[in-house]
Structure 1
C-alpha cells in the first residue's frame, strides 16, 4: 500500500467574501471525494478571502498508481476551479 498527501495552494484574485470563496472552490468534496482512494479537505487559510489550501490523501497499490491519481487531480483542478494553483506539494509516506 502506498500513500501520498497532495497539498494545493490557490490564489483567488478578486474574491471578496468567504461566501464567494466557497462558491469558487465549491464541489471539491463531490468531485474528488467519491473516489474511495481519495480523501479531501480544506486544510488551511480558512479565513482568508483570496487564498485557499486543500489537501488530498491518495492511496493505491503501487507508487505509480498514486502518482497517476495525483496528476489526474491536479489536471482536473486546473480546468475546473475559478482560481490559480500557486503551489503543489506531494509527500509520499
Structure 2
C-alpha cells in the first residue's frame, strides 16, 4: 500500500470575503472526494481571505498510480481554481 500526502497552498488575490473565498475554492470536496482513493480537506489558512491550503491523501497499491493521481489533481487545480498555486508539497509515506 502506498500513501501520498499532497498539500497545495493557494494565493487568492483580491478576495474580500469568506463567501468569495468559498466560491473561488468551491467544489473541491465534490470533485475529488468521489474517488475512493482520495481524501480531501481544507487544512490551513482558515483565517486569511487571500489564501487557502488544501491537503489530499491519496492511496493505492502501486506507487506509479498514486503519483499519477497526485499529478492529475495538481494539474486540474492549476487549471480550475480562481487563484494561483503558491506552494506544493508531496510526501510519500
| Alignment TM class, shorter chain as reference | over 0.9
RMSD of Structure 2 on Structure 1 (CA): 0.5
Residue 91 of structure 2: aligned partner = 91
Residue 80 of structure 1: aligned partner = 80
Stretches of 4+ moved more than 2 A in 1?
Answer: none
For the Cα contact (< 8 Å) 1:43–1:53, is it kept in 2?
yes
Which blocks of at least 5 consecutive residues in structure 1 are unaligned? Answer: none
Residue 19 of structure 2: aligned partner = 19
Residue 70 of structure 2: aligned partner = 70
TM-score using structure 2 length: 0.98
Q: SS of the residue aligned with 1:91?
A: strand
Q: SS of the residue aligned with 1:14?
A: coil
TM-score using structure 1 length: 0.98
For the Cα contact (< 8 Å) 1:58–1:66, is it kept in 2?
yes
Which blocks of at least 5 consecutive residues in structure 2 are unaligned? Answer: none
Aligned length: 93
Shift of 1:47: 1.3
Shift of 1:61: 0.7
